[in-house]
Structure 1
Amino acid sequence: MEPASETFNPWTVVNLVFHHLAAQGLHPVLGGADPGAPAAELLRALGIEPAAEGDRQVRENVKSRLAEIRAAMFPDTDDSM
């Protein structure tokens, strides 16, 4: 069985780099150019497909947690949503 392809939101990379630079005492400024495109290219270079909906693992965790909440709130319903 082949593993699912990994996806990641390019803006998450932008956010990570921004906060890393700020933690180093630098003062990054967003504006002027869209950093999303270079972030998407970086992800592609790492073999990760950029996807606006975010990364697969986060999405699966959200689905799992919502299923737990539905089961707790509505124990008598079918959880095949």
Structure 2
Amino acid sequence: MAVCEVCDNDYEMAFEVRAAGAVHVFDSFECAAHKLAPICDTCGCRILGHGLETDGMFFCCAHCARAKGYTRLADHA
């Protein structure tokens, strides 16, 4: 069995995720998202879908991007 690197659960159905040259082991998608998903620089939520990124900052939506002064970003083109 493998141990989840987030919650330390020793789980027979754990899985590996390879990202940025590293191998991570998780017991659930929830733990994988907690560890790997970017965080919105405005509201702090985990970005699980199509977020926005500019100048090294991540946003969950255009509203949060505008709050930081990035007025040209849009949720839909």
TM-score by length of 1: 0.27
Structure showing the higher strand proportion among its residues: 2
User: Greater Rg, structure 1 or structure 2?
Assistant: 1
- Structure number with the bigger relative contact order (C-alpha 8 A, sep ≥ 6) is 1
TM-score by length of 2: 0.28
